[in-house]
């Protein structure tokens, strides 16, 4: 197929479908063909579901002939393999769930299904969303479409790479400490982490329940807004789903940003950041100023503790959440064990990968007797201070602008032996999860080697519309989103 439909936006695809220029079946088949031809070099998909996708496409075409209209009707999408999908294996890229086929949809998946979307398959990720590079999948690493020797970011690396490679116009991922925004930045696409509680977590296989959030990847800010429209709503199946009204998030797009105050936190421009990243982000901020925004230097003084706090809180919750995978009820069970203790031990040893085991052990340690107060309890108090930092900052500014990552995509294998350096890849994204606020990454330039650079925007809780307004204003003044990787 040509690149044209592969790199079309949701709005463009919907216009083509409405005008009868193509059918959903034709569009879906074209993308399935592209995935078959090119994904062997990238590994974005863990499993492609062509039969189900074409059935959904035929149903969408029939619904359109009967007069149904929906922004996502007949649009092919991809789903991160951590979102329960009825009748389709959902493994979290882990051997311990390799045979798990959910009998139900996650609420976000169900809402897309109701909107008439077509599901192409399940996307690769770091096992149980624990990683920053998509190298910790039990099945295969995912490679960056801009340079296949480099990582796409993680944990939603497959979701970001699929959009960048033109396999899907949009995908869903999850963000626990940056797992949407970081791979979006490294793959040159737009990624949105909504406010905690804005999108239901029902059917999202848990990593850290107070941090996890589902959100979209897309080629443009407008496409992210369209997906957010579909998935954002209070859900009685999720007790943490917030009773806060949603709106049409496309209505804010196109509004000028003159008079808005954009905060620039001094703690996010640090020693060790790649010069090209800092230069691109500062140019982006200057562009916002040229559009009439007021740039205000601010301080988020507890930022330096964010990584430590995150890796205490997140691993503690992971230790608890992953205790359910013991070989007794569902998931992998080791064969030939002599007693229940051996079954537990061998099932978890053989079923979990090294990074997951590392985080379970860290979490169990900080929750153990004698260490709870020294680590976990103290981390919760500092998490409150980080949240207060943002609350104080948003009394002075409307949005905050930062780099999404301190560097561009690193080479596959480069940081596998240095977990701390890997964890620092999320140094600029973690705080938003700890505070529960929305964050968005969008392209703001490329290095001389042609690697994408991301601008991160943060807003107060439930102010996704403001976030999208500012992001769209910047995006429209540049053509970064129109660039495409060269795929053989």
pLDDT score for 270: 86
* Peptide bond just before 62 cis, omega within 30 deg: no
Is residue 139 a contact partner of residue 64, using CB atoms and an 8 Å limit? no
Residue found under tokens 């079923």 = 351
Strands 190-193 and 261-265, sheet pairing: unpaired
**Which H or E run contains 216?**
strand 214-218
Q: How far apart are the C-alpha atoms of 337 and 341, rounded to whole Å?
A: 9
Give the number of other Cβ atoms within 10 Å of residue 77's Cβ: 29
Distance CA(442)–CA(447), nearest Å, equals 15
| Closest to 314 (Cα-Cα) out of 156, 176, 424 | 176
Mean pLDDT for the chain?
96
Quick one: average pLDDT of 236-241? 97
* pLDDT tens column, 80-120: 999 999 999 999 999 999 999 999 999 999 999 999 999 99
What angle is formed at CA 186 by the lines to CA 265 and CA 139, rounded to 5 degrees? 130
Model confidence at 421, pLDDT cuts 50, 70, 90, reads confident
Per-residue confidence (pLDDT) for residue 418, from 0 to 100: 87
Q: Which CATH number fits domain 3-259: 3.20.20.70, 3.90.1170.20, 3.20.20.100, 3.90.1300.10?
A: 3.90.1300.10
pLDDT (tens digit per residue) in 336-370: 999 999 999 999 999 999 999 999 999 999 999 98
pLDDT level of residue 329 (50, 70, 90 thresholds): confident
Is pLDDT of 2 > 50?
A: no
- Which tokens hold the place of 327? 């070989």
In this prediction, residues 288-301 reach a mean pLDDT of 98
The total number of residues shown for the chain amounts to 488
For residue 202, what pLDDT is reported? Answer: 98
SS3 90: coil
Question: Taking a C-beta distance cutoff of 8 angstroms, is the pair 206, 212 a contact?
Answer: yes
pTM value > 0.95: yes
The per-residue pLDDT for range 190-227, each reduced to its tens digit, is 999 999 999 999 999 999 999 999 999 999 999 999 99
Q: Which residue has the tokens 């102010």?
A: 463
Closest to 92 measured CA to CA, from 43, 136, 35? 136
The pLDDT of 10-35, averaged and rounded, is 97
Residue closest to 44 by CA, chosen among 136, 144, 118, 189: 144
Mean pLDDT throughout 376-392?
Answer: 98
CA 433 to CA 436: how far, in whole Å?
5
Query: Which whole number is the average pLDDT over 411-417?
Result: 94
For residue 463, whether the previous peptide bond is cis, meaning omega lies within 30 degrees of 0, is: no
| Interaxial angle between packed helices 10-19 and 24-38, expressed in degrees from 0 to 180 and rounded to the nearest 10 | 140
Contact 193/439 with Cβ under 8 angstroms? yes
pLDDT band at 262 (very low <50, low <70, confident <90, very high): very high
For residue 232, pLDDT over 90 is answered with yes
Please, are residues 44 and 124 in contact by the beta-carbon 8 Å criterion?
Answer: yes
pLDDT attached to residue 1: 38
Helix residue spans in 69-192 (DSSP H): 107-114, 157-164, 181-187
Residue environment code for 40-55, b if the CB has 16+ CB neighbours within 10 A, otherwise e? eebbbbbebbeebbbe
Structure tokens at 434: 């700890």
The catalytic site residues sit at 80, 155, 179
Q: What is the mean pLDDT of residues 251-264?
A: 97
pLDDT per position as a tens digit, 155-180: 999 999 999 999 999 999 999 999 99
Residue 463 and residue 470: Cα distance in Å, rounded?
Answer: 11
Domain boundaries, the chain: 3-259, 304-380
């Amino acid at each position: 197929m040509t690149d044209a439909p592969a790199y079309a936006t949701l709005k463009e695809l919907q216009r083509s479908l409405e005008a009868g220029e193509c059918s959903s079946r034709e569009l879906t088949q074209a993308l399935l063909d592209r995935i078959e031809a090119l994904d062997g070099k990238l590994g974005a998909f863990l499993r492609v579901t062509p039969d189900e996708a074409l059935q959904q496409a035929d149903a969408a075409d029939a619904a359109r002939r009967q007069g149904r209209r929906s922004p996502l009707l007949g649009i092919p999408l991809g789903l991160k393999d951590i979102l329960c999908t009825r009748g389709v294996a959902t493994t979290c890229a882990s051997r311990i769930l390799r045979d798990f086929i959910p009998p139900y949809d996650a609420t976000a998946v169900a809402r897309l299904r109701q909107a008439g979307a077509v599901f192409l398959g399940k996307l690769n990720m770091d096992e149980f969303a624990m990683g920053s590079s998509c190298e910790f999948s039990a099945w295969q690493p995912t490679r960056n479409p801009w340079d296949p020797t480099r990582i796409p970011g993680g944990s939603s690396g497959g979701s970001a790479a699929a959009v960048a490679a033109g396999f899907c116009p949009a995908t869903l991922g999850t963000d626990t400490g940056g797992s949407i925004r970081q791979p979006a930045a490294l793959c040159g696409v737009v990624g949105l982490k909504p406010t905690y509680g804005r999108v239901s977590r029902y059917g999202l296989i848990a990593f850290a329940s107070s941090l996890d959030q589902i959100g979209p990847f897309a080629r443009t800010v407008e496409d992210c807004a369209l997906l957010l429209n579909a998935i954002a709503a209070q859900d009685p199946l999720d007790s943490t789903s917030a009773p806060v009204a949603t709106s049409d998030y496309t209505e804010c797009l196109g509004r000028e940003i003159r008079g808005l105050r954009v905060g620039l936190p001094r703690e996010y421009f640090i020693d060790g950041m790649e010069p090209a990243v800092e230069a691109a982000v500062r140019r982006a901020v200057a562009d916002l100023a040229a559009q009439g925004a007021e740039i205000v230097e601010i301080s988020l003084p507890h930022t330096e503790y964010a990584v430590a706090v995150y890796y205490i809180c997140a691993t503690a919750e992971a230790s608890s959440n992953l205790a359910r995978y013991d070989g007794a009820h569902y998931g992998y069970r080791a064969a030939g064990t002599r007693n229940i203790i051996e079954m537990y031990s061998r099932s978890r040893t053989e079923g979990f990968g090294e990074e997951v085991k590392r985080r379970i052990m860290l979490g169990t340690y900080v929750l153990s007797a004698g260490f709870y107060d020294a680590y976990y309890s103290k981390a919760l108090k500092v998490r409150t201070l980080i949240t207060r930092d943002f609350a104080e900052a948003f009394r002075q500014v409307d949005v905050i602008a930062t780099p999404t990552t301190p560097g561009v995509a690193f080479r596959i294998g480069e940081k596998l032996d240095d977990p701390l350096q890997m964890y620092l890849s999320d140094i600029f994204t973690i705080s938003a999860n700890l505070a529960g606020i929305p964050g968005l990454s969008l392209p703001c330039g490329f290095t001389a080697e042609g690697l994408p650079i991301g601008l991160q925007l943060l807003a107060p809780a439930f102010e996704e519309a403001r976030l999208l307004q500012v992001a769209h204003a910047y995006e429209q003044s540049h053509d970064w989103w129109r660039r495409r990787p060269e795929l053989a």
